[in-house]
């Protein structure tokens, strides 16, 4: 067990460290990190299609797909929640599959087809899943909603393709869109407002129409 004296020093060091990290402006943080590690930034060119539009970008190799979409292409519908692959707010479709765009580097997607919430539908012509979320009030603050909708669209495609989940009883049959399947398959998309029951209603309505 630590003595009170050692504990006091540890706490002081912790406070100094915290103050220093707060004092470094956000714009200076990367260069500070680079100075510490000696790693220089390297840029690469990448071309991909986003919502049907061809895009050519020159990016720092460390740029995530999420930051490329939001900061470089100004498609801010895709949200940054945790930036650690834990909330699903950044879910987009890449070549038809849902991924957490905060966990993948943009330069890894040369030639990919990326679809964000802006590419699913328009205010005048909503995607069926967007319309169902509106109808069933599948949101409160709406922060998780773009990721929920992209994820739900891909999730129904996975079920239709017969891909089993951890809770599928029969690994060889096409799964039914049960509450258990939806909960399991959407478990990577967190809603801090707790709109889960309405999200579930929206998804099952769309699934029913597709059946
Ligand atoms: Fe990507 Fe949370 S921001 S999973
Ligand atoms: Fe607010 Fe889901 S609607 S986090």
| Ligand 1 atom closest to residue 101's alpha carbon, by position in its atom list | 1
Nearest ligand for residue 192 CA: 2
What is the reported pLDDT for 41?
Answer: 84
| Ligand 1 atom closest to residue 190's alpha carbon, by position in its atom list | 2
Which regions of the chain are under pLDDT 50?
Answer: 1-34
What is the reported pLDDT for 36?
Answer: 64
What is the reported pLDDT for 184?
Answer: 97
Q: Would you say the CB of residue 88 lies under 6 angstroms from ligand 1?
A: yes
CA distance linking residue 19 with residue 21, whole number of Å:
6
Q: Give the pLDDT confidence of 15-68 residue by residue, as tens digits.
A: 344 343 333 344 444 444 445 666 778 999 999 999 999 999 999 999 999 999
Cβ pair 132, 203 in contact under 8 A: yes
What is the CA(7)–ligand 1 centre distance, in A? Answer: 35
Taking alpha carbons only, the member of 57, 89, 86 closest to residue 74 is: 57
What is the reported pLDDT for 1?
Answer: 41
What is the reported pLDDT for 210?
Answer: 66
CA distance linking residue 73 with residue 78, whole number of Å:
11
What is the reported pLDDT for 142?
Answer: 97
State the burial class of residue 26 (Cβ atoms within 10 Å of its Cβ: 0-12, 13-18, 19+). Answer: exposed
pTM of the model: 0.82
What is the reported pLDDT for 211?
Answer: 57
Ordered domains of the chain (ranges, CATH): 42-120 (3.10.20.30), 122-211 (1.10.150.120)
What is the CA(138)–ligand 2 centre distance, in A? Answer: 9
Q: Would you say the CB of residue 81 lies under 6 angstroms from ligand 1?
A: yes
């Amino acid at each position: 067990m630590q003595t009170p004296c050692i504990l006091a020093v540890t706490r002081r060091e912790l406070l100094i460290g915290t103050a220093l990290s707060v004092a470094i402006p956000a714009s200076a943080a990367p260069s500070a990190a680079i100075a510490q590690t000696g790693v220089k930034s390297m840029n690469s060119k990448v071309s991909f299609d986003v919502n049907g539009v061809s895009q050519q970008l020159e990016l720092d190799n460390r740029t995530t797909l999420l930051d490329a979409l939001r900061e470089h292409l100004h498609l801010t519908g895709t949200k940054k929640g945790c930036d650690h692959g834990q909330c699903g707010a950044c879910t987009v479709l890449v070549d038809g599959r849902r991924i957490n765009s905060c966990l993948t580097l943009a330069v890894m997607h040369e030639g990919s087809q990326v679809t964000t919430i802006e590419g699913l539908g328009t205010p005048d012509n909503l995607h069926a899943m967007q319309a169902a979320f509106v109808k069933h009030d599948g949101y409160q603050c709406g922060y998780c909603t773009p990721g929920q909708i992209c994820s739900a669209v891909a999730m129904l495609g996975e079920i239709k393709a017969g891909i089993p989940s951890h809770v599928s009883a029969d690994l060889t049959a096409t799964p039914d869109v049960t509450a258990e399947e939806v909960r399991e398959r959407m478990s990577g998309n967190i809603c801090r407002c707790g709109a889960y029951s309405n999200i579930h209603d929206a998804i099952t309505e769309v699934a029913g129409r597709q059946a």
